[in-house]
Amino acid sequence: MEARGEGAGVQSADLTSGSGNEDEPVEDTTAQAVKPPEGRMTRIFGFEKEDFSSWHRIVCLLNRPTDPAALGIFRCMFGMLMAIDITQERGLSHLDYKYLDGAPICRFPLFSSLEPLPMDWMYLVYVVMLLGSVGIMLGLFYRLSCLMFISTYWYVFFLDKTAWNNHSYLYGLIGFQLALMDANRYWSLDGLMKPKKRNADVPLWNYTLLRVQIFIVYFIAGIKKLDADWVEGYSMSYLAHHWLFEPFQMILSVDQVSVLVVHGGGLALDLTAGYLLFFDATRPFGIVFVSYFHCMNSQLFSIGMFAYTMLATSPLFCYPDWPRRFFARFPAPLWVLLPITAPGPQPSSSCVYPEVQKGGKKAPKTPSSNTTPKVSQPRFRHKLATVFAFIYVVEQFFLPYSHFITQGYNNWTNGLYGYSWDMMVHSRSHQHVKITYKDGTTGEVGYLNPGVFTHSRRWKDHGDMLKQYAVCLSANLPRYNITEPEIYFDIWVSINERFQQRIFDPRVDIVKADWSPFRPNPWLMPLLVDLSPWRSKFQEIESSLDNQTEIVFIADFPGLHLENFVSEDLGNTSVQVLQGQVTVEITEENKNYTLETGQQMKLPHGAYHKVYTVSEGPSCYMYVYVNTTEAALQQNFTRLLGIQERVRNGTETEPLPPELLPLIATDDEGSEVNATDPVVQLFLRRQRRMKEVKKRREANVMERLNRFTVKKYYLLRRGFLMTAIALRNLAFGLPPVDQLTREVAFANMKEPLQEANQDGPLKEEAGHGEL
């Protein structure tokens, strides 16, 4: 895949034989070369159809000399972004929490035999990865740096499937590609140390692979978004409420913003981005659109460096010599610090040069002591590079649709999570998770806290990880006098706003259950897609309720039942059948009630009940409830706010009782501490957090920058100090425990108190997390 920009690379490659040593002129052997006229197809695509007429022509095309400038700039940007990513999303700053060295914890590697190294050695692994990324950025010991980065990166990647996503997979692919490319031929320290590498041509396939890779990311993501759930606006409907989409809400309703802008715009961009970036005429529009898209994504999602990495890939589609023209605009005194701006890379043995004619004869070769002779006939390395390029491209188009091979990883969505490019197509919510164990010797039944022995939540959606989790639990429970445990999971999931339903069979002991990566999962429950049309009715039902009433839609299979507990806070809870027939058993009363479609009954609070599906097909029902405790609390908040306002404006005539006096205090934190009434204390805490929200939203650019800088400083500070402690331990052994404790406490130093506790509590406030 080639944009017209490579034409500039070919011309500049033929104009001079080297700029690595500018003080030593080189004879121009092609100044009088006869160049064939450029055809229409070359102007549009950068090649002619004759370039594919034979294997020889294909090899020559993919190894055609191309300007290394754009590739070198991308290499530098990618290395820098990966160095930042290692400290954040890869987890260097919280590595001790990530791996919990020595703790009985359940892990989810790709291969069960793959385990993390001891903690101090894991820090060394990350140091090697970080040094590799910095080496890539600087172009220093380039091949070694790439090897250091990709070997440790893929090791960490395979260690934890719970951290897999599309962009983490993409980073590993790009690192692998760069390891095989000549990306250190421009703006690299290797070029300063080795003149033959400085500003040398790179073969066209270096650009082709990266461009095809980015095209695949966009285009396959668009193909996956042709799914009905995305087209109908159910995948990411909640995004329409984000402040970034408020300008669209001036002319569209929230539902229209969701369908037309969030889903329709995302689909259109993914399908067309690769084509817009490819052609000269549409590239400016493509760069504007994808830049706007990725800048929005950086604010919408916690995706680390992905948005910035994709921004860095866009210039790869431009003319390869764009950095020369860009940096040439800078003042001449700065050129010493900037990349080379002089046109004309020097020859490279990695490329195949066309045999140009001079006066009807072949032009003579005039090699210089500091340049590499031009290769005019493909060698074995060029043919091997061409074969690799074809195999890699075919493999990348095949992998997103290879789920018929790895069937054991297929759940409601297909394949190993991370290489399918089905980004944001599926959203899930979990309503009910229950883990039951049964002692294999005594038959004793008990329950486990969901997530025990692990800090991950992704095992709930993937059969392969659920199997690993069950095996891990069975290995850990015997230390608590539970022998030969059987483990059962009852997990209820809603995908793309459908009914909450079971994803795995709750009657199967997962410890002994059969699982293979190449066979369908026999204990996976089918997704009830036939009930998908109910989603439009959900919206009608929800719109008819008041703000204090909440609702949960349930679908269940014949012969199964849901055991549930109604909290004391939910004083007005009922169940209503939408489809099928159910029997409701009130456990304490030992009574059964059969409900048909349209019937409902009130459920006692503070008690267990069971809902059995007795119809031949799946049953559908809904819980309707009001959190009476929260409703009463909100009424109290409204009353206290009214009292506070009347006191402050002088219209309150009655003296305040002692428990309400903190309402008129000027010191928010002091009044919160001095409040004796718990309702008043919660009210004051809520007010303080709302002030913090308002302060953050109204902060100016400098205040936001300062807050961001302070946060990142303490993040990097902890990573650096913990890494230094680990390397010291490896070099000199463990110090006394009290010294190690002091060192870790120093590394854990938090940012100032007024900044430290804002993020978490503010996020909780929207859902009244403190209640």
Residue 159 contacts residue 107 (beta carbons within 8 Å): yes
Sign of CA dihedral 366, 367, 373, 374: negative
Active-site residue, from 98, 196, 197, 225: 225
Cα–chain-centroid distance for residue 201? 35
Which two tokens mark 351?
A: 């490329």
Q: What angle do CA 276, 277, 282 make, to 5 degrees?
A: 50
> Which residue stretches of 443-503 are H helix?
463-476
Helices 119-138 and 142-159 cross at an angle (nearest 10°) of: 140
CA distances from 628 to 205, 248, 416, 542, 570 (A): 66, 36, 43, 18, 6
Instruction: Count the residues in the chain.
Output: 771
Residue 433 contacts residue 490 (beta carbons within 8 Å): yes
> What is the phi/psi pair of residue 341, to 5°?
-110, -10
The H helix count followed by the E strand count for the chain is 26, 16
> CA 631 to CA 549: how far, in whole Å?
10
224 catalytic residue (yes or no): no
User: Radius of gyration of the chain from Cα atoms?
Assistant: 32
> CA 305 to CA 171: how far, in whole Å?
10
End-to-end Cα distance, the chain: 57
Which residue do the tokens 């090699």 mark?
367
* Beta strand pairing call for 445-448 and 573-579: unpaired
3-state SS string for 320-374: CCHHHHHHCCCCHHHCCCCCCCCCCCECCCCCCCCCCEECCEECCCCCCCCCCCC
Q: What angle do CA 381, 385, 386 make, to 5 degrees?
A: 120
Half-sphere exposure of residue 385, counting CA atoms within 13 Å on the CB side?
30
> What is the phi/psi pair of residue 619, to 5°?
-100, 150
> CA 188 to CA 184: how far, in whole Å?
5
**Which residues are known to be catalytic?**
225
